[in-house]
Structure 1
Amino acid sequence: PPTAPLHLISNVNETSVNLEWSTPLSSGGRQDLSYNVVCKRCGPEGTRCQPCGNGVHFSPQQLSLRATKVSINDLQAHTNYTFEIWAVNGVSQQSPGPEQAVSVTVTTNQAAPSPVNSIQAKDITRHTISLAWQQPEKANGVILEYEVKYYEKDQNERSYRIIKTSSRNTDIKGLTPLTSYVFHVRARTAAGYGEFSAPFEFMTNSVPAPIIGDGTNSTVLLVSVVGSVVLLLILISAFVISRRRSKYSKAKQDADEEKHLHQGVRIYVDPFTYEDPNQAVRQFAKEIDASCIKIEKVIGIGEFGEVCSGRLKMPGKREICVAIKTLKAGYTDKQRRDFLSEASIMGQFDHPNIIHLEGVVTKCKPVMIITEYMENGSLDAFLRKNDGRFTVIQLVGILRGIASGMKYLSDMSYVHRDLAARNILVNSNLVCKVSDFGMSRVLEDDPEAAYTTRGGKIPIRWTAPEAIAYRKFTSASDVWSYGIVMWEVMSYGERPYWDMSNQDVIKAIDEGYRLPPPMDCPVALHQLMLDCWQRERGDRPKFGQIVNMLDKLIRNPNSLKRTGGETTRPSTTLLEPVSPELSSALGSVEDWLQAIGMERYSDNFTAAGYTSPEAVVHMTQEDMGRIGISSAAHQNKILTSVQGMLSQMQQIQGRMVPV
């Protein structure tokens, strides 16, 4: 039989896991080598493992795999899984042994719930429909609430209404008699909303016939007839008005739809807006009894005091490792408020790529903030310690996790303002989590900070130009910082802009220079960095788009194989650009256009004679219009990518890249 597969790596994407491995050292001297995948669901720390069962799906298949990769989907959220990859051939059944397998243990992330399968109408009257439904087949966490969307069948679906409920039933009131309504239901966990259910249609009852006397009471008859006529006129008027209203401008419909789409999305609350800061702490952070905490050792020094590792044992729960930030003695009221503000911020977040707050200790001294413990410390130090040890896919997985956490923060309208590898923490499973939510303070002692024109201190090397010049911090400025984090990850923790001074960095950025790709960095990743470093913040991608882009790269590993060639890491010299001689590593124009999603213009380039990278690199915006590329967005994307080509050669010559 063959030996075990080699170099097994995993990438977790919510409730899916991608596995990839290399062929065994020995195939047993046979040509019929294949692979079987064993899936086990395990308790904490790999205990009590049992087979995954039939609900898990393998792509392309679980047994007799010829390829050296597989995707496992429809796993449970927040669950430990152990996967074994067995190398087998025609004689493996004769003497199977553990030396034929390699294994990896992972923990899935939280994910949105699956769709609700069915909706039932328990009771129907003229104006009310009572609905009930079952919990989604895969809740993927605690269901926080359900959202019911409904609209009249004959009306435009965009004119829907929304009702939210924490239970699996609700009464829809105020409906029109004898009218068909369409209903959809979806569930929400901390990871967000799942998909809406399929449409379910129910009709309200008709208006009952009026009860009239035996004809001898003419007054009753007259009142009944008049009442019926008035009711009929009211219904006709309401129908005409509703028809007129349905013809209102599309802009208002779009605005209403936007409002509906964002109902239920949690928005970050700034603790500094509270008149009493202690109220924010009480609202967003759980008070922990100091007797539940055991401090073991000091692991660092924070702005307000020591940072320690220790253990937390809450009543009825198992003991866990935690990190403990303490407030040093002799603090002022302002220092206490600033210290606890980070807990008030952190306590509002619940995401697998955001550091988790366990609680605070405020009723005795020292005042403490308790968070989950991240065994591998800060990302920049972790990368420097493990220089060159990870595959490109693993590095992209790290970037994907950070982007996912930042998308969550951006969706909550929270701006981090200090996103850098030093503020990303890494746990034992290599899951990266965004931390350090104290950027509202003035960074008096931060060596990465420099005075701005407005007097405050900010980390220049990670900060967008508009934030440096005007202190305009937005999610778009966080995207710029994310581009720098990408560069840090791909360079294994190298210092951005090397030993250049902060003033030289500001000047270089203002003149249009950008960091070159790190050694062996795929072209697609450096292109994404350049997109994040667009001068106009409106031209930068959103975090949701970044997550989607990284997911595409992970699903298509071949797109990560093209790099700028084998080079040494660039020097710190900042020189004028020179005429580039593009290396053969850039490939054909057709490959380049396909890599940036612009393959639709291949014929335009060929017809105009732009058949080599050397020709393309000299193109201008006017040239783009001349060959039939009229979209300004597409022109900008292509021109930005052209600068990416230039950066390949600038890296070889040790220079920063003009864009």
Structure 2
Amino acid sequence: MRMCISVVTVWIWFGVCVLMNTKLETSDLRWTIYPSSDPEWEEMSGLDEEGNSVRTFQICPMDTSVSHWLRTRFTPRRGATQVYVEIRFTVMECSAMPSSFRTCKETFNLYYYQSDEDTASSTHPAWMENPYSKVDTVAADFLLRRGGERKSNVKTVRVGPLSKKGFYLAFQAQGACMALLSVRVFFKKCPAVTRAFSSFPETLPHSLVQQAEGVCVTNSAPTGQAPPTMFCGEDGQWVGPPSSTCVCKPGFEPVDSDRCRACGSGQYKASVGGSLCRVCPDNSNTHSPGSSVCLCRPGFHRAANDLPDSSCTRLPSAPRSIVYQINDTVVTLEWSEPLDRGGRSDLSYSVECVRCRGSACVPCADSVTYRPGQVGVAGRRVIIRGLLPHTTYTFTVIAQNGVSAVSHTSPASSSVNITTSRDVAVPVSGIRRTKASESSVSISWTVPPQTQHSIQEYQLRYSLKDQDDGWQYVSSKTNSVVLNDLTRASQYQVQVRARTAAGYGHFSPAANITYEESPSRLLLTGVLVAIGLLILIAVVIVAVFCFRRSSRTRDPDPDKSCQFLMGQGIKVYIDPFTYEDPNEAVREFAKEIDVSFVKIEEVIGAGENRVCDYVSPSLTRVCLSVVGSDVSPALTRLSVCLQLNDGQFTPIQLVGMLRGIASGMKYLSEMSYVHRDLAARNILVNSNLVCKVSDFGLSRFLTENSSDPTYTSSLGGKIPIRWTAPEAIAFRKFTSASDVWSYGIVMWEVMSFGERPYWDMSNQDVINAIEQDYRLPPPPECPASLHQLMLDCWQKERSSRPRFCAIVSALDRLIRNPASLKITGRIPDGPSHPLLDLRPPPPLSHCSSVSDWLRSIKMERYEDSFLQAGFTSIQLISHISTQDLLRIGVTLAGHQKKILSSVQTLRVPGGSLRY
């Protein structure tokens, strides 16, 4: 009986390259049949279910003891290292065959043979398993029987690896009554794709994963030094996100994550990244699309240290209302602020001085001094000294701000003409120390000769040497003065000037005076100090003697005393780091327990050491770490707990467990310890799902190495490859950042309910994949925010990984916002998830009420205070000041700054609102 059922279906697959498809052939296939002398395979034509003519082969051999072969023509592999063969066929059930079919079978074999040339013939290669390579023994899922449903089978097998230019397929039937309805040979490739502004070409996988190199789209640039790469899987699907992303260049904004659009007229974008174009700041504009900065309008400027997004400003107007005072040759100038500051807050002033005789004016001499200075004066008052008597001066006050240095326009200024007094007192000289006591020193000087006016008073000033800002002033009617409360054994500088009816003269040159304590005073002080030390030593000796005697009286047995204190539940914490030798603290405060009193009940965990549960002499159950024990662990770890409860924990419960683990690691990192073996198997969990970090057999204390505490292992030993950071594997550099990598693996274990990281990949395959920037995909139903946090923990650069304190804060935000856990799947292209996002809060103009605004800036604690103080609308909030915040009760400087900076976004010059 010969039978052929033609049931053909046309498949169209995206990313599939078809090498052979018999459904599309309308003429003879010209396949080779063996044995050719008495061929059993028969090629026939038929119609598929759409009425198209197709070519099929069928066989129902009379002699079932002979192998019947059918070989295809030569098929070039076109660069594929492995191909897929889809076979549509029917097989007759052996029970429906005549009894003469003694060796009837319901299976057939598929082989392949590789060759660089199309050299196969009816005799070459030999018709046997070697040199052919067996692919599979194909069995039918559905067998044909008389009067039954006519249904075909479809099997897809993988053929490879392929290395030569082409190959042949061979079908071997050994007693099967069957029909080959169609054969399709194809391979899969990853299609061209654009992700994260990176364009990847169509890629043919040559292994489990094939790395493809991409290029940034037009008007974008890579974020790192290397071009973006992505892995193409053997199934023709792209694996994971790109290793490094591309971002839009300055002047261009992202559109649909696949192209960058130029900023329009009147817009700009100053930095590289995913931000959008912004409207040009005040008094600036752009001249062409794609601008990274807005140019200032004529008459406006930016200072050298101004940011590109700052408004353009102009020069200030002139100072107003200069007022002066004359005291002999000392002039004090004061003035009012300009009417227009130029739109800037960095206003300062400079003073220019010229001396005029008749119509000729020259700059003032270098001996003229200005206090606080001549240029860059922040205040509006300057004292000028060293002027000549009876001389006319012109003083010019110039207003300046940050753009004065870049402007080509002369700054605005105001001037005033002043004439100094006619007569000046003669300077004083001959300053000397005349007498010194235990508490004072006497200073005198020579009386200067006077030709016109008598001296009315002297003014003396003194300060420690080289401390010109600490002058103290003393007045005297005579040419001597007594100075009190001086610092002993110190050197002072002293100056004196005289005052006549014409005013004060110049201070004399500084004279150095040393004040030394008398020998008798020093001797008395030394005796008193010695007596005080003797009394202190005696008191300490007596106190120690009394304390020891009292201790022996109260409790002669130190062991019993220790047990009594412990029985009362008193816990005393002794910080061993206060001792030069920590072992000394252990010997002084710890008590060794006789091993005969210890009874080990069970082993509750194991790592480098065994952790056991034992009973102490006081019948208290505690934990004990045993080195070198052969007992096996008896406690179910977190990984086992997850596997036994697969799918039974809610996402919020899993996040709570992860938060407990992160909190424990935060404590370890703050204590400068590195765990080195963080994994789900080393986490203990109780019935309340409270997780504790355990198994510290590999933990080490971090040594300080500059700003990067590191533990470097120089010894051998096993390393948990699947949980260990790449720098720790390659260089044995262990830091808290390497523990963060391990924590990311623990997160993956928890969210996959105890799945083995990297599945059945070998350790070497894991190392190679990580080096090529492969990262674990999100487990099923894993929240997108948690997978992003995992990827942050698996940053290649350890300095880019988050710290445990940031991880704890991120998980706290997730726990407070459970709705965010409903977003699952892969992370979309673009900026990172807001778990670790530190972007500023929205401006005040985007909030509809005071309550919404306070919540947006995390200041909701002051909501009742604002409402009780009368600030019930956004309009009122926009006029709030520091004094108002103090009245409301906001006293912390950081909270005041945060609130005022948010309010500032809604203000414009003049205090009005901007909508």
> Structures share a fold, TM > 0.5?
no
Compute the TM-score of the two structures, normalised by the length of structure 1: 0.36
Name whichever structure is richer in strand by fraction.
2
Q: Which has the higher contact order (CA 8 A, sep 6+)?
A: 1
**Higher alpha-carbon Rg:** 2
